[in-house]
Amino acid sequence: MHGRHAGADPVTGRRVSFGIVRMANIEPIFDVAQILFRAEEVPGMRVHICVYHARFPLAHRAAIENMLDRSFTRKSPDAAFSEPEIRRAIDADPDKDHVFVVLASPVCEVGRDWDADWAVVEPSSVRSIIQLAGRIQRHRRQIPIDANMAILDMPIRALLKPTEAAFCRPGYEGRSGDFRLATHHACDLLESGFVKHIDARPRIDPPPRSEWHTTTSLADLEQAALVRNMLPDELRQAVSSGSRRQRFLTASAFRPANFMSYLVWKFPQSLMTGVLPQQQPFRASSGKEVTLVLMPDEDGIPRLYREDGKIGERLYVLVEKSLRHDVSLDTPYSWSPTKQYGIDYKVTSGLVSPTTAALMSVRVPNSDFGWRYHPNLGFAVYRGE
């Protein structure tokens, strides 16, 4: 991808490209990032890696997003080369090609006005592929001669557990029935026309419902899931006949995952109550989560605490020695913000302000064994290695 789509640095003339590798889940990102940082140097090329996902302390994540937003703003094609993090990296090694890679979770798909040169995507849904494609050549609109997006043939989940659903969490595949795919090979699930020219048509212009093949087409599976969530068959029948009371009683029997999505668009005023988001969060975790906080001690060194909001107990419990597992990693070519946290600590007698604590907090899956941590990788569950 770099060889096909790199541009020239206006100062040194070296070839430089900016790419996104979108992965479906955070834990594999943490593992793959370690492998890439420890990999042997590519002859003639310097690879700079930025890990971006939701398990960084809030202030650190904001700093990463600020850096990436600046770097991927290409409305002026050469503007990225004047950014301090990029300029410093290129000038430190002017005799090599430079590849700036974001190893990202699905958070890169929403709300990011980025213009990358190329991308690689671990498939989880047609929607995610379309969203990521919208972040390639977004500003410059230069028509590529060669393909500038690669789709892996299957999710990592399918490699680890081949007999289970794989296009899920994120994705729409279910455990059984019409929502269980017959194969997990993307080359069999995606239309060849869509792969050659990725656009939003599979999502906004579906074929007739009678022609859907939900077990062999990823696009058809997502259309069926959309119908299920936004307008269930049972509800469509209920609202077309019967008294108001009968319709209400019929609808109230539906499980929240179906019924709440319908209510959001059918009765938009219901959003004013705040009840619907509580019943159906935008991103529902598959398990219990806890809040961790990195708070500085008297010497200004960040220590790890777990938030405990139970009445009558301390709000923060120190887990620095028991549950924090720092990863030893040499990252001289990490693509990272100049200032990771973007805040100044003001410590008095070991206490820190609530604002600082909030900025240094992060939500993670609950773990009895603790969490792995590195400033360039964020947090991941510790598996007892």
The answer to whether 207 and 219 have CB atoms below 8 angstroms apart is: no
pLDDT of residue 358: 73
Closest among 364, 366, 365, 371 to 385, alpha carbons compared: 371
pLDDT of residue 127: 95
How many CA atoms, within 13 angstroms, populate the side-chain half-sphere of residue 373? 22
- Average pLDDT over every residue of 366-385: 92
Closest among 241, 222, 233 to 262, alpha carbons compared: 233
pTM, two decimals, is: 0.87
| pLDDT tens for each residue of 266-287 | 777 777 777 766 766 656 566 6
Q: Give the pairing type, strands 361-365 and 324-326.
A: unpaired
pLDDT of residue 160: 94
Q: What are 318's two structure tokens?
A: 């120190």
Q: What is the DSSP string of 233-254?
A: HHHHHHHHSS-HHHHHHHHHTS
Instruction: Tell which phi-psi region holds residue 23, choosing left (phi > 0), alpha (psi between -120 and 50) or beta.
Output: beta
pLDDT of residue 265: 73
Give CA–CA dist 124/173, Å, rounded: 9
pLDDT band at 152; cut points 50, 70, 90? very high
pLDDT of residue 346: 44
- Average pLDDT over every residue of 71-99: 94
Give CA–CA dist 87/80, Å, rounded: 9
Angle 26-30-31 from CA coordinates, rounded to 5°: 120
Q: DSSP label at 133?
A: H
Distance of CA 138 to the CA centre of its chain: 19
Q: Give the pairing type, strands 316-318 and 302-307.
A: antiparallel
Instruction: Give the domain ranges of the chain.
Output: 231-279, 289-381
Instruction: Tell which phi-psi region holds residue 370, choosing left (phi > 0), alpha (psi between -120 and 50) or beta.
Output: left
pLDDT of residue 70: 96
Dihedrals phi, psi of 142, to nearest 5 degrees: -90, 120
For the purposes of burial, counting CB atoms within 10 Å of the CB of 210, is it exposed (0-12), middle (13-18) or buried (19 or more)? Answer: exposed
Is 251 a residue whose pLDDT tops 60?
Answer: no
Is 114 a residue whose pLDDT tops 80?
Answer: yes
The answer to whether 20 and 120 have CB atoms below 8 angstroms apart is: yes
pLDDT of residue 253: 41
The position carrying tokens 């993670």 is 364
- Of 29-38, 146-155, 324-333, 339-348, the least confident: 339-348
| pLDDT tens for each residue of 360-375 | 899 999 999 999 999 9
pLDDT of residue 281: 64
